[in-house]
Amino acid sequence: MALVLAGLWVGQNVSLLPVDASSNAPVYDSLFRVLFSIGTILFLGIVGLLIFSLIRFRRRSWETSDGEAIEGNLPLEIVWTAIPAIVVLFVGIYSYDIYERMGGMVPLNDHSAMHSSMGSSMEDASMDSMAPEGQKGAVPAARVWGGINGAEVAAGALPVELTAMQFAFIFHYPDGDITSGELHVPADRPIELRMKANDVIHAFWVPQFRLKQDVIPGQPTVLTFTATRPGTYPIVCAELCGPYHGGMRTNVVVHEPEAFDTWLEKNRPAPPPLPAASGAATASTSAPAAGAPPSKA
Amino acid sequence: MTLASPRDFEPESLQPQGWLRYLSFSLDHKVIGIQYLVCGFLFYLIGGALAGVIRTELASPISNFVSRETYNQVLTLHGTIMIFLWIVPVVNGAFGNYLIPFYVGARDMAFPRLNAVAFWLIPPAGILLISSYFIAGGAAQSGWTAYPPLSISTPAIGQVIWILSVLLLGGSSIFGGINFIATILKLRRPGLKMMQLPMYCWAMLGTSILVVLSTPVLAGTLILLSFDIIAHTGFFNPTLGGNVVVYQHLFWFYSHPAVYIMVLPAFGLVSEILPVHARKPLFGYTTMVYSILGIVVLGLIVWAHHMFTSGTPPWMRLFFTIATSFIAVPTGIKFFNWLATLWGGKIALNSAMLFACAFIVNFVFGGITGVALAQVPFDIHVHDTYFVVAHFHYIVYGGTVFVIFSAVYHWFPKFTGRMLNEHLGRLHFLLTFIGFNLCFAPQHWLGLNGMPRRVAEYDPQFAFWNQVSSVGALLMAISTLPFLVNVVVSALRGQPAGDNPWKALTPEWLTSSPPPVENWLGEAPLVEHPYGYGTEQGRLDLEATTGQEIWSGSRR
């Protein structure tokens, strides 16, 4: 009893995790606390039993006899088969529920993400993965292989494209045609991160978001998340990708929504098609991709 | 198929005698067992030195000790050496070869020549692997997992040599597995039933089944990978239409069972050691057997839990979560049975027992983090971080390597006829246990808080606990010294052990120490109750003791 209480206390009060900064994180943390409590109870119980046995049943120097010849005890063995089975079943169902809440159980290929046409809103989730070629506009929708797809975020999510390469993450905002080495996101708005890798496998990991997804060459992947707590957090590559793997990191900056709009405005490249916009060279941090001033036409 | 007796092939004058036979193509299973053990330990020292390089590099947050390329070579070699050249050969090959023929009442393994071939594949493969460090381009840099496309884009020669040596070692492992299965099933002494075998036989049977089923998959995968590297085929190369996730599935189809190939024999060894030093029968023999078989079956269907952040469909993640979690059930049975074996015993807290009990502590800890890691949402945060590094070191070092040391303390009297020094043994235990926990426990926190694995540089906020970890690694390195001194000095001048210093009942103790060629001078003994402690001898002793002893024995 004291053991259970101790385990629960440790599980609830000892914090081993970094600050939570996404809608995933509190859910994850509640799972962590449950696992930590159960683990502490089991570990303390087993180690306590072991140490007690070692002391209580140690061989004294004058003793030459054997211990009792207990070959087994079927009811007891059934009990300690059943207890782990129940614990494991409970943990499994609970973590399934957690995963569901994190949006991980949404079937793949429901999203027709990774549109080649920028800025278009998400097509609805009804695309048949068997025949992606039938998509209008003859743009074969890339198959989405994995990732945690938030169920409810199909509409209104901010799309961001992530290209991982040795040894950098490059972010591109199709909405504003902004390219950035840091990820800037507004708080409390779903982000749809469309990820692709150029060379080897990388992994996108934000510890404070409790989120990780491999970025696999040849397999475009969509990761959806909602940041909640403004601040700057590290983005870490978590899959060995070469010599500079340890240096492949950047930051995610979570803004208040208004601050994000400001950031978006500030970094938006000057619209090149307008002939009057010749003085747009001040958009310094923006990408040159489409922002090159029209040469003399 | 030849039916000639071994004597026709080996006139005694041609076989090297004395210590030289350990360098020969000996067919004696005991010699081969010692060959595996010593050879494996030499590779352990090399792998340990590489771990020292890693921990020295990580003592500071910046990459300043070795170059980044070298660092990746070092971590690749460390993992490969420790798994394929130390743990798998020693816990299977060394103790398996030494003990299994005794346990089944045979005079040698079923295929002695295959056995010698299996051993002699290992030193060349190991030397090949290590020497690749010195060639142009260096050794493989893509980790022991060798995930493409990284393994395709890093220097090719080192990677191909890595593949070659792993193929050789896999071949050695398969030969050994076939040999164990044949020996256990076909060479049992007449009258000895399967359910009377010591538990290590069951563990080795299960392990060998895993070896024979899964290692060929690794071999095929690596051959395809080498084609991708040499011949520019496109099996796994996405730019040529290949699929990298398929490689991961194939790789882990072997490499997760490989974890059980490393720990099941350790479970078996612990099941031999605990009853002897606790003077009690092994608790729940039958459930132990079934839990081994359960682990074998489940171990084959859990591999994708290494890939929860790769592209796997959700239902597969769910399936592998549940399958993985359920491995905790048969494993838990074994641990509770061991605790019940200790309960009510007359426990001798010698070095063998200390290491075996520390194994229980470490493995329970690693098992609990393992069940946590099996949960997809949990794993998504800590996958490929130092949490995983800590977890699997608790399993393979805190689990298997502790058992290897325990087994050396237990069987050294049988190997050499001399006892190991108990004081040095306890010093070794203390340093290893403290150093190990100091090294790996903080890494759980590091992983949870954002330190990925396989990095040469890290966020400075993690510096303190990395330094603690490095100090622990230093202690582990120092702990090897008393062990080495103990083994060398005791082998030459240790206290004579007699044939059966532990008064054990399993058949290897019912012959001289060290045992003669072909194990017994007369007929092999029929041991129907390998764990029959306390049944006859114990009762007799109980009646012969004084009332005070009975009182104190039952009170305390």
> Hey, what domains does chain B have and what are their CATH numbers?
32-550 (1.20.210.10)
* B455 in reach of chain A (CB within 8 A): yes
Are A88 and B317 within 8 A, CB to CB? no
Contact A148 B380 (CB under 8 A): yes
Task: Look at residue A93 in the predicted model and tell me its pLDDT.
Answer: 86
The tokens describing B512, both together, are 């001289």
**Average pLDDT for A81-108:** 81
Instruction: Reply yes or no on domain A142-271 having CATH 1.10.1670.10.
Output: no
Say how far apart CA B519 and CA B495 lie, in whole Å.
23
Average pLDDT value for residue range B55-82? 94
Which residue spans of chain A are classified as CATH 2.60.40.420? Answer: 142-271
Residue B458 has pLDDT above 50, yes or no: yes
Q: Provide the pLDDT confidence category of residue B15 given band limits of 50, 70 and 90.
A: low
Q: For chain A, say whether B448 makes contact (Cβ under 8 Å).
A: yes
- Segment among B41-55, B151-165, B466-480, B535-549 with least mean pLDDT: B535-549
Cα gap B23→B412, rounded to integer Å:
20
Measure the CA–CA gap between A145 and B314, rounded to whole angstroms. Answer: 10
pLDDT tens, residue by residue, B16-59: 777 778 888 889 999 999 999 999 999 999 999 999 999 999 99
pTM of the model: 0.88
Please, what sign has the CA dihedral across residues B425, B427, B430, B434?
negative
- Whether residues A59 and B377 touch (CB distance < 8 A) is answered with no
Å between B372 CA and nearest CA of chain A: 7
| DSSP-based three-state secondary structure for B236 | coil
CA proximity to B527, closest of B193, B222, B224: B193
Residue B548 pLDDT: 44
Q: Which two tokens stand for residue B101?
A: 């023929």
Residue with tokens 């070298």: B70
Residue matched to tokens 């808080």: B449
Which two three-digit tokens encode residue A122?
């998400």
Mean pLDDT of chain B: 90
Give me B513's structure tokens. 């120490």
Q: Which residues contact B97 (CB under 8 A, 6 or more apart)?
A: B29, B30, B32, B33, B36, B109, B115, B176
Q: Can you tell me the ipTM of this complex?
A: 0.87
Q: What is the pLDDT of residues B284-334, one digit of tens each?
A: 999 999 999 999 999 999 999 998 888 777 788 888 998 999 999 999 999
CB A290 within 8 A of CB A177: yes
Kindly report the length of chain A: 297
Q: Which residues of B touch A205 (CB under 8 A)?
A: 384-385, 450, 452
Distance CA B91, CA B202 (A): 14
DSSP assignment of A43-62, as one string? HHHHHHHHHHHHHHTBPPTT
Highest mean pLDDT among A111-120, A142-151, B487-496 belongs to B487-496
Average model confidence (pLDDT) for chain A? 76
User: For residue A279, what are its two tokens?
Assistant: 């003085």
How many Å apart are CA A270 and CA A294, to the nearest integer?
11
d(CA A204, CA B466): 23
Average pLDDT over residues B126-135: 94
Quickly state the pLDDT bin for B202 (edges 50, 70, 90): very high
pLDDT for the residue numbered A275: 53
Q: Which amino acid is at B158?
A: G
State residue A27's pLDDT score. Answer: 86
Taking the alpha carbons at both ends of chain A, their separation in whole angstroms is: 83
A127 interface with B at CB cutoff 8 Å: no
Render chain A in DSSP notation, one character per residue: -HHHHHHHHHHHH---S----BSHHHHHHHHHHHHHHHHHHHHHHHHHHHHHHHHHTBPPTT-----------HHHHHHHHHHHHHHHHHHHHHHHHHHHHTTTTSPTT-S----SSTTPPPPPTT--TT-GGGSGGG-PPPPP------STTTTT-EEEEEEEETTEEEEEETTTTEEESSEEEETTSEEEEEEEESSS-EEEEEGGGTEEEEEBTTB-EEEEEEB-S-EEEEEEE-S--STTGGG-EEEEEEEPHHHHHHHHHHHSPP-TTSTT-TTGGG-TTS-STTTPPPP--
- pLDDT digit string, tens, across residues B258-282: 999 999 999 999 999 999 999 999 9
Tokens of B389: 């590094």
Q: What is the pLDDT of residues A9-65, one digit of tens each?
A: 887 777 788 888 888 888 888 889 999 999 999 999 999 999 999 999 988 877 778
A295 touches B at CB < 8 Å: no
Give the pLDDT score at B467.
Answer: 96
Given a cut of 80, whether residue A118 has pLDDT beyond it is no
For chain B, positions 158-197, list CB contacts with chain A under 8 A. none
| pLDDT over 70 percentage in chain B | 93
Least reliable range by pLDDT among A257-261, A269-273, B100-104, B472-476: A269-273
What pLDDT score does A154 carry? 56
| Model pLDDT, residue A280 | 41
How far apart are the C-alpha atoms of A222 and A148, rounded to whole Å?
7
Of the ranges A70-74, B135-139, B194-198, which is most confident? B194-198
